[in-house]
Amino acid sequence: MTQEISAQDIKKAEQQILEQQSRVDYDIRDFPIAFIVENFNEGEYFVPEYQREYVWTKEYRVRLIESLLLGLPIPLIFLSDTATGELEIVDGVQRISTLSSFINNELQLNELKKLDSINGFYFKDLPPSQQRKLKSKSLRVIVLRSNTKEDIRKELFNRLNTSSLKASDSEVRKGSYGGKFMDFVIRLSENPKLIEVAPISKKLLQRQENIEFVLRFFAYSNNYQNFKHGVQSFIDDYIEEVENSFDEQIMEDEFNSMLEFATEYFPIGFRKTKNAKTTPRVRFEALSVGINLALRKKKKLVPTDVNTWLESEKFKILTTSDGSNSKTRVANRIEFVRDKLLGEE
């Protein structure tokens, strides 16, 4: 039933909006990085209690520095004036502290992808011109006036950090990697047999989990023995390696053969249980890649006793999420399926 909105309701709504708007007052300023870092180091900025549990990993910290060196924009920093003259960091603690640690030669760059020539560098190792450019680069800062109450500052922090939905790895790749290979992967991901064999929840399907499955199938099938650590960097590296040189027909045939084999010999597909609505990634990797590797060795393979090992305690242990980024675990679970299908121990 649709609620009827009266003129009184509209007036009341306008009054509430105006009252809440009046509680937020701010300036927009541009501060050089050197100025921001200096003030942070001298204690002119302080970190409120509600932010102290938020800590970036080193991967995020070095990516921020790489983004700045590449000239990419970064999100706004939010500060707030206080009655004592100090500036409270409402949002941006990790960005500011990362800049401080880098310029103070406490953060070493590593595992950069675009600027791999400066892996191992500290700030002091950068060319002098790049040191000056980084320190003089201005960042856009929103400064809330001192009459902005603490509850508003907390609300702002919570909204900035929880209201947006982080893009999934596949969504990022779809936007970052163009070209024939990603077009090929996207086309295969739309094969309805994939969802029949390895169900994906509606929510995960909206986040491009089907693309993630296809990428993992090819990356592990063709390169699992070179896996080190970090699934996403492993897949990104694989995309870059094959984007201009891959055999579309062979890869598509292998993908389709894997799905047909699973349809014929796995009664409930890759589900953990008959009524499961989604498929864990490690389970998909083990089964899909194990099948593919077995079919490479024996094209007309007819397996026996699939359910025996599929329901075994060992397979359950190998396909739990714990240790999924371990090189040994990756190889063990894939080769376990391959060998069981081939009747090898």
- Would you list the DSSP string of 180-205? HHHHHHHHHHT-HHHHHHS---HHHH
Q: State the average pLDDT over residues 217-227.
A: 94
Domain residues for the domain of 21 are 13-162
pLDDT confidence band for 144 (50 / 70 / 90): confident
- Residue 283 falls within a domain, yes or no? yes
Please tell me the predicted confidence (pLDDT) of residue 163. 47
Residue that is written with structure tokens 């856009």 in the block: 140
Q: Which of 112, 129, 162 is the last residue of a domain?
A: 162
- Residue 86 falls within a domain, yes or no? yes
Same domain, 124 and 196: no
DSSP-assigned letter for residue 4: P
Q: State the average pLDDT over residues 339-343.
A: 93
Q: State the average pLDDT over residues 43-66.
A: 78
Q: State the average pLDDT over residues 14-35.
A: 75
Instruction: Look at residues 343, 335, 263, 336 and name the one whose alpha carbon lies nearest to residue 304.
Output: 343
Same domain, 298 and 202: yes
More confident position, 48 or 298: 298
Please tell me the predicted confidence (pLDDT) of residue 18. 65
Q: Which of 162, 192, 210 is the last residue of a domain?
A: 162
- Residue 7 falls within a domain, yes or no? no
- Residue 5 falls within a domain, yes or no? no
Same domain, 188 and 335: yes
More confident position, 14 or 76: 76
- Residue 201 falls within a domain, yes or no? yes
Q: What percentage of the chain carries pLDDT values higher than 90?
A: 50
- Residue 299 falls within a domain, yes or no? yes
Same domain, 309 and 200: yes
Same domain, 84 and 45: yes
Same domain, 130 and 47: yes
Same domain, 106 and 23: yes
Q: Which of 162, 186, 221 is the last residue of a domain?
A: 162
Q: Check whether 147 has a pLDDT greater than 50.
A: yes
pLDDT confidence band for 23 (50 / 70 / 90): low
* Residue type present at position 28: I
pTM, 2 dp: 0.61
- Residue 44 falls within a domain, yes or no? yes
Judge whether 173 and 211 are in contact, CB under 8 Å.
yes
Same domain, 175 and 147: no
Please tell me the predicted confidence (pLDDT) of residue 179. 80
Total count of domains within the chain: 2
Q: State the average pLDDT over residues 328-334.
A: 92
Same domain, 117 and 26: yes
pLDDT (tens digit per residue) in 156-214? 655 555 545 555 677 667 666 668 999 999 999 999 999 999 999 998 988 889 999 99
C-alpha span between 89 and 96 (Å, rounded): 9
- Residue 197 falls within a domain, yes or no? yes
Same domain, 282 and 141: no
Same domain, 214 and 127: no
Same domain, 124 and 191: no
The average confidence (pLDDT) of the chain is: 85
Instruction: Look at residues 178, 181, 188, 243 and name the one whose alpha carbon lies nearest to residue 211.
Output: 188
What order do you get walking across the sheet with 26-32 strand by strand? Answer: 26-32, 138-144, 77-81, 87-91, 45-46
Please tell me the predicted confidence (pLDDT) of residue 320. 83
C-alpha span between 231 and 154 (Å, rounded): 35
| Pick from 39-43, 55-59, 122-126: least confident | 55-59
